[in-house]
Amino acid sequence: MISLLYGFVYDGQIKEHELFGDIMAEDTANSFLNDFAQTKQGNDTIFSCWARYQEAIAQGHDAVNGTIGALLENDGSLAINQTVDKFVRNSPPIEIAAYAPLKGLPDFLDLAVTLALGDAREELENIGVHHTATASPGGSGALFLAAANYADRGSKVLLRDRHWGPYDGFLAGCGLEIATYPLLGASSGLDLPALEAGLGNLAQSQSKVMSWLNDPAHNPTGLSLTSEERMSVLRAFSNAAMEHEDVGFTLLIDAAYHVYAREPHGWAETLTDALHDGMEWPANLLLTFAISLSKSHTVYGLRGGALVSIHPDNSVVERITTVMGVTGRQTWSASSRLAQYSIAKIHSDSESGAAWSDEKVRMTEILKQRRDLFIATCQKLKVPINPTHDGFFAWLEHEDPNGIVDSCALEQVYLVPLNGGVRIGLCAIPTDKIERVAVSLSNALKE
């Protein structure tokens, strides 16, 4: 019996009713479930692919796991930042047992701002940018806080067409719909015209326009925008805000993987540059960061994160502090004190902060080796993968992702079919199996 992430327990057998649901039981259950609840389908694609991989291992196959979204060492064990593990284990009993303050522990909230803004924080503060942070259960909690408060129910949130699947559920749960623009434009980078058009269109009919951008190190592609592209995005938002003065615009940067990227704090740096270059920050534009400790500190199960919002007007961030605190209170009460305490403690001391960073650099290097090898082999075999730069994943755009994934599975390579393509979990694949994954994709494409 193997238990890994999310307490998903696999006993070696995939039972039909677990994957497809028992239709009869569903009819009865629907008499209790409201309309929205009835739209919720189990069988998370990623976890069922992972179960398929486990089944292959149980049958004795030399299978490759490219399914899950957690960093695994080359021996297949979960990569754990040892400094974090030590600090969590050595936390005093009171920090484990007690509630955290509803909005979060002050030292952690301060750290969350630094995790969002990096070294640019001081300069942004100097030029009058104010910030607020609210602790949340993971990055998911931070996304929920934004969904619950920064858009009107019934309105649309602007996403790129390739995005992390759970976004759809967080937004739907808050009564929100989705509008999308393409992940890539003609020159294989940001599709700026589509972003501008998307913002303009929504602003015609909505009084609030929010857009979520998972950058750098996008899930599911590993794409990171360049500094020029970040600048174009910021200008697109500030132009849209100036053109539509009665509309509130929120740009949310989902920073779930940012510490593993080459420019972890690129957004804060680009913002600083833009403000120095004379970009005006319209009062109706808000920037917000969804911070997750899950990957950055390898504490997936401790559920640590924060929503950090920044704006030039202090009264705006003060009001947001109240609203987010009340939302947390009414949803999950307080967030995990242990996660907040232990991670803040690590970064309060330069020695332990450096030890955390050394481990993080080691993990980033593992990801880089796998990605470089994957890109090189795909180039050699002419596998047309998407641009991929940082973080946990790579992506093959394809109109029949299920066909590709099934074909790879015949060669004992397990990947994830998602809307519009195949996600390759470089984070989970041992470096010496990377070439095999590229070969199996190449074979699948020939069929």
Ligand X SMILES: Cc1ncc(COP(=O)(O)O)c(C=O)c1O
359, 86 in Cβ contact below 8 A? no
- Minimal distance, residue 253 CB to ligand X, in Å: 11
Task: Give me the least distance between CB of 435 and ligand X, in Å please.
Answer: 26
**Cβ closer to ligand X: 50 or 281?**
50
Q: Would you tell me which residues interact with ligand X (CB under 6 A)?
A: 69, 138-140, 164, 214, 219, 254, 256, 292, 294, 300, 305
In one-letter notation, the amino acid at residue 447 is E
Q: Least separation, in Å, of the C-beta of 397 and ligand X?
A: 18
Amino acid in the structure at residue 319? R
Amino acid code (one letter) for 109: L
Measured from the CB of residue 56, what is the shortest distance to ligand X in angstroms? 23
- Report CA torsion sign: 365, 371, 373, 379: negative
With respect to ligand X, which residue has the nearer C-beta, 141 or 248? 141
Angle between helices 138-149 and 314-331 (to 10 degrees): 110
**Nearest residue (CB) to ligand X, 68 versus 285:** 68
Residue showing tokens 């992702």? 401
Cβ nearer to ligand X, comparing 181 with 281 = 181
CB-wise, 282 or 425, nearer to ligand X?
425
Rg (CA), the chain: 22
Three-class SS of residue 310? strand
- Indicate the residue among 48 and 239 with the shorter CB distance to ligand X: 48
Residue 78 CB contacts under 8 Å (≥ 6 apart), including other chains:
4, 70, 71, 72, 298
- Shortest distance (Å) from residue 291 CB to ligand X: 9
Q: At what angle do helices 82-89 and 337-347 cross, to 10 degrees?
A: 120
Residue nearest to ligand X (CB): 138
Q: What distance, in Å, lies between the first and last C-alpha atoms of the chain? A: 36
| CB nearer ligand X, residue 140 or residue 238 | 140
Question: Which lies closer to ligand X via its Cβ, residue 64 or residue 306?
Answer: 306
Shortest distance, CB of residue 219 to ligand X, whole angstroms?
4
CA atoms of 331 and 103, how far apart (whole Å) = 12
273 contacts 127 by C-beta, under 8 angstroms:
no
CB of 416 to ligand X, least distance (A): 12
State the alpha helices, DSSP H only, in 244-382: 266-276, 293-296, 314-331, 337-347, 350-381
Alpha-carbon distance 297 to 423, whole Å? 23
